Amino acid sequence: MKQAMAVLLFCVLFFLGNNLRAATLPDGCGDDHAHFDVKTEKDAPAPAPPQAGKARIVFIGRIVAPGCLGCAVFSPRIGVDGSWVGATKGDSYFVFDVDPGVHHVCADWKSLSAARGRNVGVATLTAESGQVYFFQVKITAATEAPSDPPTVRTEWVLDLKQLSDDKGSYRMKTSALAISTPRSQ
């Protein structure tokens, strides 16, 4: 009985925590109620060049988190200019074409392992027609305090950053293709 009550309390607190966070997403993200089902495809052919008159953004999900419980299926949502455009799962990538100009990029990760208030990344990009831009979404250990033991951490944060062309191209080639489908509400 005590275990059942503890599980129920944990679920209620988790649900409330996620709902409280919903109101604090940056403008570059999307509706917090949107979710994706993500499948990955290894050894997928390289994507075609960007559409004529467009720029391409490649979003690469990366897991480098030894000791992170539940992080093996790291699945952040990615938003561009206020709409969710897809998600990655584990070490995977997807591409999204945009018009030239300024764009606001957002990555969001919901997990029990995420440090409270630190699971959203934002960036701004000025895209030029025909160019390809690479962004990496990675989880890293929170730096506030050392963990005990040092190989098991309890808090992880999302890190969104733009990569150089060479590093981004390499990371894309060594990752699976993510195919995300919006989940029905």
* Secondary structure string (H, E, C) spanning 7-69: HHHHHHHHHHHHHHHHCCCCCCCCCCCCCEEEEEECCCCCCCCCCCCCEEEEEEEEECCCCCC
Measured CA to CA in angstroms, residue 21 lies from 33, 107, 117 at distances of: 11, 14, 8
pLDDT given at position 113:
57
On the 0-12 / 13-18 / 19+ scale of CB atoms within 10 A, 156 is: buried
Nearest of 78, 104, 72, 107 to residue 90 by alpha carbon: 72
Would you state the structure tokens that stand for residue 124, as one six-digit string? Answer: 């701004």
pLDDT at 95: 97
Taking residues 4-14, what's their average pLDDT?
Answer: 45
pLDDT band (50, 70, 90) for residue 116: low
pLDDT of the residue at 145: 54
Cα angle 182, 8, 22; round to 5: 40
**12, pLDDT greater than 90:** no
Q: Taking 60 as the threshold, does the pLDDT of residue 137 lie above it?
A: yes
> Is residue 16 predicted with pLDDT exceeding 50?
no
Q: Tell me the average pLDDT across 147-172.
A: 80
Q: What is the pLDDT of residue 156?
A: 75
- Rounded Cα distance between 82 and 73, Å, is 25
Instruction: Please give the pLDDT value at position 185.
Output: 62
